[in-house]
A and B are shown apart, each in its own frame.
Chain A
Amino acid sequence: MSGVLVQAALPTARAVRWRPGLALTGVLLVAVVLGRAADRSVDAVLVVAAAGLAATVVAGLQDPAADLLAAVPVSVMRRRVLRLALVGAPALATWWLLDSLSTTTSSGPGPLLALTATGVAVAVWAPTRRAVLVGASTPVVLFALHRVLPTGTASDVVGRWLTDPWWVLAIATLLCVAGRRR
């Protein structure tokens, strides 16, 4: 089965739209370089980058040929994993590049992975018609809620992707595994 996925990697990579992600990377790089040149804090940019890159990776799950491929003997989840690997690797590389360019202490890729896993879990469990759109919006919504909610329990819960990213990643991964047949 892994041979099939290896064979499918190149056509899938060709089907993925790379330009929006590249443009997004360019904007983030300019912001970080500008912050570095001006000796200003870019922590906020890195948090935006985590949410933006996570949303991009989840958006990469959209497969216009999904109905056509439903009949092939490769499960939907395997095809999702292939797409996540193809889009996730450059996103992770971008994150490391931004993190290494910034002068702040490295925070690690935890928030990016946690938000991506949460978005994927939502996309897996959401109604099929809008699944990827809802999943890709999830990191953005979590980011916005974390920013506007007043300090308290709700804010703490919503902000777990930033404070306890590895727990969020584990729970979201379990949800994805539970929904592997969806």
Chain B
Amino acid sequence: MSTVAAGRAPAPAVPSGARVVGALVRAEARRMLRNPVPWLCLAVSAWGMWLVVPEPGEWPGSSYEAMNPVAVPLLLGISVAVAVPFHRARHEVAPAAPVAETRRTLARLLAALPLLALTAAFAGLVAWRERDIGGLWIGMEPGRTTEALHSTAELSQLVVLGLVAVALGAALGRRVSRLVALVPALFVLWFVVSVYWLFGHPAVTPYSVMQVQPLVLEAGPATADPLAFPADWLLVTAPHYSGGGWGRQWVSQALAWWHDVWLLGLAALLLSAAWPRPGRRVLIAVGVVLAVAGVVGQHWVIP
């Protein structure tokens, strides 16, 4: 007996958890990056961004507002690319796999990091393009600028929206039974979000997915002298302001940062729908805390 035991081949080394997750991350990332959809969508977004140029007579701030929604095709592409591997996890073979579901889910999410890098690169492209064309226009004379640039806080929203796109793709991919049903669902969700003027009212914008600044706030009555307003106010009036009198186009970095917090909460809540049962409650709790903090913060910042 001991002779047999002595002659037995040594047991194969069991790879550590980190190595298994690493291998899965590499395989899933390769698959996601081979998917042509996010690349085609990136091209559409980049082309859309290229078409945004301020023109004389434009609606005050329209070119500034148009810069964020051009990212929507890219976000749709990211959601589709992430939804495919998460939908694959619904197959019967997956529960019998030797790697725990939590690790497989984690690996798929880590594999989506290059797609997040894509959104960061797109945000960088937007920043470069705005400087290249000499800035965008906000406001009307006498309160007007032709050199408006999106702040870091506003550009960071594109990256956080990339995270929401990953989470949305993961949630729908995991929960929707047929892959083909994801196409209209993701399309409608992202393109309704891009109709930003529906969510631009100060009372609604904290809950929006894509927050597009500037917000329009009341500045004074029609009889007010616009030169008497603070010099840094970007003004609008009829027919570009429906409130009557003078309004001001307001851009706030603090609002954008708090909106990022809200979006992080939203992403955590969406991820909880894709995450296996152990750990789901933690994600829900974190999501609720961040979302509430984000909404309260935004309401606190808006004058």
Name A residues whose Cβ lies closer than 8 Å to a Cβ of B.
17, 20-21, 23-24, 27-28, 31, 34-35, 38-42, 44-45, 48-49, 51-53, 55-56, 59, 62, 132-133, 136-137, 140, 143-144, 147-148, 150
> Chain B at the A interface: mostly helix, strand, loop or mixed?
helix
B48, B73, B180, B201: which contacts A59 (Cβ < 8 A)?
B180
A35 to B199, CA, bound (A): 8
Contact pick for A52, options B177, B179, B188, B195, CB 8 Å: B188
Distance to closest chain A CB from B122 (angstroms) = 15
Which residues of chain A come closer than 8 Å to B51, judged between CB atoms? 148, 150
Residues in A whose Cβ lies below 8 Å from that of B197: 40-41
Q: How far, in angstroms, from A17 to B51 measured CA to CA in the complex? A: 39
Kindly report which residue of chain A lies nearest to residue B189, judged by CB atoms: A27
Could you say which residues of chain A place their CB within 8 Å of the CB of B178?
17, 20, 59, 62
Do A140 and B184 have beta carbons less than 8 Å apart? yes
Contact A48 B192 (CB under 8 A): yes
Range class of the B interface residue count? 20 to 34
16 contacts between A and B (CB under 8 A): A17-B177, A17-B181, A20-B181, A27-B188, A31-B192, A31-B198, A35-B195, A35-B198, A38-B204, A40-B198, A48-B192, A52-B188, A55-B184, A133-B183, A143-B187, A143-B191
Among A20, A48, A59, A143, which residue has its beta carbon within 8 angstroms of that of B195? Answer: A48
CB-CB under 8 A from A39, the residues of chain B are: 242
Which residues of the other chain, A, contact B182 by a CB distance below 8 angstroms?
20
**Smallest CB gap from B188: residue in A:** A52
Q: Do A52 and B242 have beta carbons less than 8 Å apart?
A: no
In chain B between 260 and 298, which residues have their CB closer than 8 angstroms to a CB of chain A? none
Q: Does B176 contact A (CB under 8 A)?
A: yes
Beyond A45-B195, A51-B191, A150-B51, 18 additional contacts (C-beta under 8 Å) are: A17-B176, A17-B181, A20-B178, A20-B185, A24-B185, A31-B192, A31-B198, A38-B204, A41-B197, A42-B198, A48-B187, A48-B195, A52-B184, A52-B188, A55-B187, A136-B184, A147-B48, A148-B44
